[in-house]
Structure 1
Amino acid sequence: MGKKTTHKFKAEVSQLLDILVHSLYTNKEIFLRELVSNASDALEKVRFKAQSDGADDIAPEIRISADPETKTVTITDTGIGMTRDELMRNIGTIAHSGTAELARLAEEGKESLDALIGRFGVGFYSVYMVADEVSVTTRSIEEDAKTMVWTSDGRTDYKLQELDDDRPHGTEIVVSLKEDLADQFTNEAHLKTIINKHSNFISFPILVGDKRVNTIQALWREPKFQITSEQYAEFYKFLTYDSEDPFDTLHTSVDAPVQFNALMFVPPSGDDPFGMGRENRGLDLYVRRVLIEKQNKNLLPEYLGFMKGVVDTEDLPLNISRETLQDNILMRKISSTLVKQVYNHLEKLSKDDADRYNEFWRIHGELFKAGYMDFLNKDKFGKLVRFNSSASDDAKGLTSFAEYISRAREEQKEIYYAYGPSREALGLSPHLEVFRKKGIEVLYLFEPIDEFVMDSLREFDGYTLVAAEHADVSKLDQFESLEKEEKPEALNEEQQSTLDKLIARFKDVLGESVTEVKASSRLSESPVCLANPDGQFTSSMDKIMRVMHKDHSIPAKVLEVNPDHPLVRNMLTILEKDENDPFIDQAANQLFESALLLEGYLTDPHALVGRVQDLLTKSSGWYVETNK
């Protein structure tokens, strides 16, 4: 047995160890991840060496054992091992640590362990969060190498000793646990949980006691053509605890601009109906099969949060901290590449199998629509959004902008849309009468977010997105009506003068409830409709903005009157006979409140109901007289 020698830690190592020991960092289990990762690296080096020197006869494995009596946990690997020089170089100092910067941090004493590990890559030293003393016994695979023992309490120095034994190559680390942590980290069940959480996909066997813990294959690392749909489904269920198979799978390997593998799934159902799924999103981030962060929220934007899966990269440092992750340029490159991959996958699905894509949209479209804020992917987003349409058979039908354009009338360069609570409501909307008459398709918007989608996109493939209520009537006039219209005779000069009086009377009766009353050129079936005076906001967007600002008042709008409607023509006749006939005032209020009701603004229907009953009473008397 060789002589035991004592060596002082370099100053910056002592400072670091002191910070580690007194750190407020609570996730102490991370030490096991670091030691297992180091063991995996050592085994990987043996595998690489065997490719040139021939196969090694020692089985690659990592063993973890715990002894409650001695309060120790031991991590053993059959990896490449270390020589005396390598031991001193790897553990006795911190390579490329930036001594001055570390000394400054140690002085301030404010930096968390997590950030230190991320900045300096000192994963081994995290063991001193849980250890009073650590012993490293190692033998290099190099010929004639001696077994070396490194021991330290993690304060100021470490001891080195050479052993004259014939153990196989590899490393054994014995961690003498702090008194208050011994029960926790000598519990084999707890150790298995830590391995399952952080190191489950290490490619070498990890045994706790005598039982292998990491039994699930890192499927994302395997060639796609070798993986069956059953294997993908099994992995998805393992990852998400879902009992159903995934709706779709996206498996990709990227070499540039950054190297990573990703295995992502589209779940068969949306997040929970109570809106709590926002936090239950994100892809698991691995570095060389080691979990760095569960459900990382920065890899995909929130509107793609329905995607579940893992991303594994070679290019990030293994011990990168969460704080550093958020600012890491490689992470941003991975994220932008992943978003592009998801878009390409969904676009291909929409082209190859439109029905299946529509099924995806019904499941996840509500969340995906929030992508209207992603201006970098605006064009790709526009290709993938779907809406119900007046051309659909029912409320479940979906159409794309491209499909709308394929059905558009010749010379039509607008895509028209309208918001409403249902197809039935939109079918009664006065603003859509001219579109029904001309057979021009209108996209139906049922959700408030749809308005923001349209407002953000503004155009698609050279076609302008236009709200139906803001449509330029002169552009619509160029199109033939589907059926021959039976219009009443045009108003003569006297009738036109009476119409002007009727419009003025309406304005007097309604007062400040309306900004203006004018003759309409868009109406055919309805006597009146309401329009926004500024022509910018749609009625529905105006409602959304009012809700956001907690404004419960009824907005003053323009009342458009249809001169060709029988009711209006009858009112002209009444007005010619008697300018003061009370029916005119009654009808003006009734038509205005009916229009408010259709727009969803009428909060108190009592006056409207009373007026309807009065009118029904009078009209029923006339009806009885004419049918005697």
Structure 2
Amino acid sequence: MGKKTTHKFKAEVSQLLDILVHSLYTNKEIFLRELVSNASDALEKVRFKSTSEGSEDTVTPEIRISANEEAGTVTITDTGVGMTREELMRNIGTIAHSGTAELTRMAKEGKESLDSLIGRFGVGFYSVYMVADEVTVTTRSIEEDAKPVKWISDGKNDYKLQELEEDVARGTTIEVKLTEEMKSRFANEAALKNIIKKHSNFINFPIYVGEEKVNTVTALWREPKFQIKDEQYAEFYKFLTYDSEDPFDTLHTSVDAPVQFNALMFIPKTDEDPFGMGRENRGLDLYVRRVLIEKQNKDLLPEYLGFVKGVVDTEDLPLNISRETLQDNVLIRKISSTLVKQVLGHLEKMAKDNAERYDEFWHSHGTIFKAGYMDFLNKDKFSSLVRFNSSAKDDAKGLTSFTDYISRAKEGQKEIYYAYGPSREALGLSPYLEVFRRKGIEVLYLYEPIDEFVMDAVRDVDGFTLVSAEHADMAKLDQFESLEKEEKPEALSDDQQTTLDKLMARIKETLGDAVTEVKSSKRLSNSPVCLANPDGNVTSSMDKIMRVVSKDTSIPQKVLEINPDHALVRNMITIFEKDENDPFIDQAANQLYESALLLEGYLTDPHALVGRVQDLLTKSSGWYVKSGE
């Protein structure tokens, strides 16, 4: 047995170890991740040495982990390069060769979380002292004639070094004597397997816990694409997401610049978030050199691409970077920017090559995707990918793009018209759209509140302005011929026009402050009246959204537009000519106003409207009976 020597830690190393051990750092299980990562690095060095020297290594590369519940120990063994006495002192006796005082100061001041400090300064090994009373490292270097060395320390003040005379296999064995508190947590193989599967599942070398190989799933994102079959992608997707279905689509990419990373991303077949939990249940798993850094990182892809599942693995980040630091990391922002472009480019290609397949994607994930209206950097790509139902389609499932709409636009038309409604049926009956139906001008149908924000953000596409049908310029619509000859009544005489003006003034007087104005309309054909926003800027649907946000339950003041060619209005003109005080005028004014409110979704108390309808039906049925006698 060689001579045993004792070496004191530098003062700042002792301080750091004290801070580590007595910190509030809760994720103590990462000690195993750090030791496995070190073992993996040692095995990689053997592989590199063999390749560069053209020699063949006869030792099987592996990592073995065992637990002794009775002794309260965990042992990690690798068949890697091992260390000489000098390397052991250099790598473990001091911390990262420099910066220790700075590290200690930062840890003391609490300016940065400990999980970001570990690893950044090369102190991953020392995380073991969060769970250990004593650690023994036994190692033999791959270098010829290197003697085995043993290193023992309680992580407080000093460490003991001893060269061994007995034969020890090449590589490194670390025996961790757990504290009393940690024995129940880590001195059992089941717990160790769970930690490996969580943090180190894709390490490139076999990891055994006891006799069982734990990391059985290949890091598929690191494999050449041409070698991978669809079944392998599907198997990996199911392992990753617990989805029972195969993925709808797969995007496997390898990037060298501006940041080096591999990514394997999947689009599920269906939206798996029926209860709106997507904000939390989204994100790509972030790995550094096959080691999991963060599950479901929220910064790699924006929320509107939250339906994408998968992993990103980079060489360029430090292994143990904290979540807080990740959010401010320039490399993460560069990776994110590249990933967004790749996903959007992939969707653009799908939309171009197979419209039916893209429609399938849209029906599953379109609602989430529409939140991308806030991504101004990718506005053009977003605009080309967004889809809506349309009056040109036969049913509510039919989709159209802005480009499709433009291809069908009438000669001289430079607007894309849209309208919001609760359903296709409701929009088919909307008074605002009568002029569009009459002239055969396509209108995009919006069914969800977010659609309004999309239109507001996009504003124009290829020289076409997005305009709400409600705010359409009638002068522009007048240039287009009606599809069929309109059967209008004779134009109003001057006397009738004068009576109509008086009638509208009377209706305004009857309704009082409920409306801002009563005026003649050019847009209506089948409906007697409609309501319009007085400012002409905010649509009725957007007004509703704003009222919900501000918790305003009042009925807004609007403009009441009257259709002078409607039979009911013509009858009211005749009645008004005979008797300006006929009670039917006031009754009809209130009825028309409340009916318009009902269509707009503002009428909360329908009692008066129903009572009036019943009264009118009673009277009209009496007139009908009398005329038949």
- Same topology, TM > 0.5: yes
| Amino acid corresponding to residue 49 of structure 1 in structure 2 | K
Q: Give the corresponding residue for 1:299.
A: 300
- CA–CA separation in structure 2 for the residues paired with 1:323 and 1:79: 33
User: CA 1:157/1:406 → structure 2, altered by over 3 Å: closer, same or farther?
Assistant: same
Maintained 8 Å contact 1:117/1:319? yes
User: CA 1:180/1:103 → structure 2, altered by over 3 Å: closer, same or farther?
Assistant: closer
**Structure 1 residue ranges, 4+ long, deviating more than 6 angstroms after superposition:** none
- CA–CA separation in structure 1 for the residues paired with 2:548 and 2:572: 37
Find out whether 1:21 has 2:37 as its counterpart.
no
SS in 2 for 1:292: strand
Q: Give the corresponding residue for 2:164.
A: 163
Maintained 8 Å contact 2:468/2:539? yes
User: CA 1:563/1:212 → structure 2, altered by over 3 Å: closer, same or farther?
Assistant: same
Q: Give the corresponding residue for 2:31.
A: 31
- 1:617 shift after superposition: 1.8
- CA–CA separation in structure 1 for the residues paired with 2:120 and 2:40: 22
- CA–CA separation in structure 2 for the residues paired with 1:606 and 1:107: 71
- CA–CA separation in structure 1 for the residues paired with 2:354 and 2:467: 29
User: CA 1:451/1:50 → structure 2, altered by over 3 Å: closer, same or farther?
Assistant: same
- CA–CA separation in structure 2 for the residues paired with 1:231 and 1:281: 23
- 1:456 shift after superposition: 1.4
Describe the superposition over 1:367-407 as per-residue Cα deviations: whole angstroms up to 9, x where unpaired: 11111112221111111111111111111111111111111
Describe the superposition over 1:136-170 as per-residue Cα deviations: whole angstroms up to 9, x where unpaired: 11111111111111111101111111112333321
Q: Give the corresponding residue for 2:510.
A: 509
Maintained 8 Å contact 2:304/2:372? yes
Q: Give the corresponding residue for 1:278.
A: 279
Q: Give the corresponding residue for 2:594.
A: 593
User: CA 1:96/1:408 → structure 2, altered by over 3 Å: closer, same or farther?
Assistant: farther
Q: Give the corresponding residue for 1:606.
A: 607
- CA–CA separation in structure 1 for the residues paired with 2:198 and 2:56: 32
Describe the superposition over 1:509-566 as per-residue Cα deviations: whole angstroms up to 9, x where unpaired: 1110000011111111111110000011100110111111111110010001111111
Give the 5 Å matches for 1:285-324: 285-324=286-325
- 1:501 shift after superposition: 0.6
Gaps of 5+ in 1: none
Maintained 8 Å contact 2:7/2:160? yes
SS in 1 for 2:134: strand
Maintained 8 Å contact 1:414/1:466? yes
- CA–CA separation in structure 1 for the residues paired with 2:108 and 2:419: 64
Gaps of 5+ in 2: none
Q: Give the corresponding residue for 1:564.
A: 565
- 1:106 shift after superposition: 4.8
- 1:89 shift after superposition: 1.2
Maintained 8 Å contact 2:151/2:162? yes
- 1:120 shift after superposition: 2.1
| Amino acid corresponding to residue 28 of structure 1 in structure 2 | K
- CA–CA separation in structure 2 for the residues paired with 1:433 and 1:111: 63
Q: Give the corresponding residue for 1:348.
A: 349
- CA–CA separation in structure 1 for the residues paired with 2:255 and 2:98: 31
- 1:299 shift after superposition: 1.1
Q: Give the corresponding residue for 1:361.
A: 362
- CA–CA separation in structure 2 for the residues paired with 1:435 and 1:308: 42
| Amino acid corresponding to residue 291 of structure 1 in structure 2 | L
Give the 5 Å matches for 1:102-141: 102-108=103-109, 112-117=113-118, 119-141=120-142
Q: Give the corresponding residue for 1:463.
A: 464
- CA–CA separation in structure 1 for the residues paired with 2:312 and 2:113: 26
Q: Give the corresponding residue for 1:43.
A: 43
| Amino acid corresponding to residue 404 of structure 1 in structure 2 | Y
| Amino acid corresponding to residue 174 of structure 1 in structure 2 | E
- CA–CA separation in structure 2 for the residues paired with 1:388 and 1:106: 57
Give the 5 Å matches for 1:105-504: 105-108=106-109, 112-117=113-118, 119-504=120-505
Aligned length: 628
- CA–CA separation in structure 1 for the residues paired with 2:557 and 2:477: 27
- 1:118 shift after superposition: 5.0
Describe the superposition over 1:555-612 as per-residue Cα deviations: whole angstroms up to 9, x where unpaired: 0100011111111111111111222222111111111111111111111111111111
| Amino acid corresponding to residue 422 of structure 1 in structure 2 | S
- CA–CA separation in structure 2 for the residues paired with 1:107 and 1:625: 98
**Which moves more between the two structures, 371-380 or 431-440?**
371-380
- CA–CA separation in structure 1 for the residues paired with 2:187 and 2:374: 50
- CA–CA separation in structure 2 for the residues paired with 1:68 and 1:597: 73
Maintained 8 Å contact 1:554/1:601? yes
SS in 2 for 1:257: coil
SS in 2 for 1:161: strand
| Amino acid corresponding to residue 44 of structure 2 in structure 1 | E
- CA–CA separation in structure 2 for the residues paired with 1:350 and 1:63: 49
SS in 2 for 1:207: strand
SS in 2 for 1:278: coil
Maintained 8 Å contact 1:121/1:317? no
SS in 2 for 1:276: coil
User: CA 1:501/1:19 → structure 2, altered by over 3 Å: closer, same or farther?
Assistant: same
- CA–CA separation in structure 1 for the residues paired with 2:469 and 2:119: 55
Maintained 8 Å contact 1:15/1:106? no
- CA–CA separation in structure 2 for the residues paired with 1:307 and 1:467: 32
| Amino acid corresponding to residue 551 of structure 1 in structure 2 | D
- CA–CA separation in structure 1 for the residues paired with 2:614 and 2:66: 87
- CA–CA separation in structure 2 for the residues paired with 1:398 and 1:481: 25
| Amino acid corresponding to residue 514 of structure 1 in structure 2 | V
| Amino acid corresponding to residue 289 of structure 1 in structure 2 | R
| Amino acid corresponding to residue 593 of structure 1 in structure 2 | E
Maintained 8 Å contact 1:117/1:321? no
- CA–CA separation in structure 1 for the residues paired with 2:7 and 2:463: 74
Maintained 8 Å contact 2:107/2:117? no
SS in 1 for 2:278: helix
- CA–CA separation in structure 1 for the residues paired with 2:137 and 2:124: 15
- 1:56 shift after superposition: 0.5
- CA–CA separation in structure 1 for the residues paired with 2:469 and 2:275: 33
**Which moves more between the two structures, 333-342 or 435-444?**
333-342
- 1:70 shift after superposition: 2.0
Q: Give the corresponding residue for 1:76.
A: 77
- 1:109 shift after superposition: 5.9
- 1:63 shift after superposition: 0.6
Q: Give the corresponding residue for 1:554.
A: 555
- CA–CA separation in structure 2 for the residues paired with 1:541 and 1:615: 34
Fraction of identical pairs, as percent: 81
**Which moves more between the two structures, 349-358 or 487-496?**
487-496
Give the 5 Å matches for 1:4-15: 4-15=4-15
SS in 1 for 2:455: helix
- CA–CA separation in structure 2 for the residues paired with 1:438 and 1:121: 73
| Amino acid corresponding to residue 558 of structure 1 in structure 2 | V
- CA–CA separation in structure 1 for the residues paired with 2:109 and 2:222: 42
Q: TM-score, normalised by structure 2?
A: 0.98
**Which moves more between the two structures, 578-587 or 89-98?**
89-98
| Amino acid corresponding to residue 303 of structure 1 in structure 2 | Y
Describe the superposition over 1:56-115 as per-residue Cα deviations: whole angstroms up to 9, x where unpaired: 000100011111222211111000111122111111112254244224235436754213
SS in 2 for 1:253: strand
- 1:226 shift after superposition: 0.8
- CA–CA separation in structure 2 for the residues paired with 1:506 and 1:527: 13
- CA–CA separation in structure 1 for the residues paired with 2:202 and 2:460: 46
- CA–CA separation in structure 2 for the residues paired with 1:217 and 1:315: 21
